[in-house]
Chains A and B, each alone.
Chain A
Amino acid sequence: MDHTRPRHLTVLVVALLVLGALIMVLPLAWMVLTSLKTFPEILRNPAPWLPAAPQWQNYRTVWEGFAFYRFFLNSTFVAAMVIAGTVLTCCPAAYAFAYYDVRHKELLFGGLLCTLMLPAQVTVIPLFQAFAALHWVNTYLPLVLPAWLGGNVFGIFLLRQFFRTIPRSFIEAARLDGASEWSILWKLVVPMSVPAVLTVVIFTFLWSWNDLFNPLIYLHNEATYTLPVGLLYFIARAEQLTGGNAGQVPWHLVMTLATVMVAPVIVLFMFAQRRFVEGVAASGVKG
């Protein structure tokens, strides 16, 4: 722009941004501060703003004492399996929909896209019934198996959009060189689409890591809990677990758990902020 902006306007914009950002960060700061306090400090009314001495052992307490490492490993395992299944089935499906001319292809793709509108509440009851009949309740199969059958339709959509920007001549040339479709997909197309694949991996991780609905329905055995269910379970049984009095929730430990659960998401976000933003932007493109 050729006209210069008045200086006071820039100051106002920055001031508003700082104020809003403080509101955004305050709950997280309070979470971390609380996680470093002692139980007596929590029970004092009012609790001190800062811990007298940071209680780093709270992290060891929840990790080992309340077997939170187990929930963490469960969540990690489920997320890893879901991500692997998503990449291994969504990439081929996106490739097939991007490059092959098959009759009724658009109809099939439209059908897939329609599932984005289908609420989980509609499918969950028959699926629960089926998984229960197979004795798969309290296993990770109900959480993981859909991902191994291309369950991430948004991922297929995003990958197909990206694959289509690769010039067809590349594919044709590889075919003339005698490369199989399978190796063209994994050795040419996917390596050329790393940003899109990463976006899909990141969103798949988020959905799996943050999911409360499905683990709540399929996991009823404490040893199988993932982090979100584990956290709520801890709160429900906190008095028993910590030997506190009725109504005295050990919020310092709850906040420790919350911090442990949130930390991987924040770290991932710091390294891959652009992928997050591009993924969201891509969902709005067709709007």
Chain B
Amino acid sequence: MLNSLSNYLHKKDRLRLVALLTTPVLWLVVAYLGALAMLLVTAFFTIDGFTGNVIQQFNLGNFQDMLTDAAYKNVVLRTLGIAISVTLICSVLAIPMAFYMAKIARPRSQKILVALVLTPLWASYLVKIYAWRTMLEPGNGVLDWLLGPIGIHSPGFGGPAIIIGLSYLWLPYMILPIYAGLERLPNNLLDASGDLGAHNFYTFRKVILPLIFPSLVAGSMFTFSLSLGDYITAQIIGGKLQMLGNVVYQNFSINLPFAATIAMIPVSIMALYLYLVRRTGALASM
């Protein structure tokens, strides 16, 4: 029975393809694109001011509220600033670490280092952020206790705390792609550059950076998009500061359509970002 089925399918190329792809494509279209489309549609609805029930009637009020209230412009800029800072910090930290792992460390320690970079991912997100809460606690936190004597104080809860927390959380996602990119980079290119008289920094700038650029972009897509949508870190160590995710969280229970409108912002930013990345050609060489 199974044999005859496989014989039959072997001859029918097209049928085989359909049987294989129907489920994943359906999943993609219904669950993924469907949810996005639902979000887009909901953004144009409104709610009954008293009962909070969603009224399915096309209207642009949510977009008007979002665009006319300066608070939301601020929160977009703030979130973008945080996401960009996190991405920059992660890149700056990840490049030397990945370089050491890929080019300098001995093969045995290489594996250990990769494992070490991955270990924080085994712990729960919440545990790590609550740990940062105790670290950053102004006055009696670990940072103040450790660095207070030399005059450095915890930044307290707020923007800087969020940037520190998110950079810590997403660093492995930046290190791994860069490490993979550097591993593929032939050592003799670096030697050749050195032999031709280039300084280390010049080699880095002219040889390494262009070649690992696609990996850097891949890493930045993780750090940037994960930061852009985050709200839990801001809730726990952000003090009274809110990011875009918090606005969605704050509104989705009271005013779902408005939350959907706000949620369109990070979606659009990411779409634009991916478009720009595509233009650079980094996606093709990934």
Tell whether A and B belong to one assembly. no
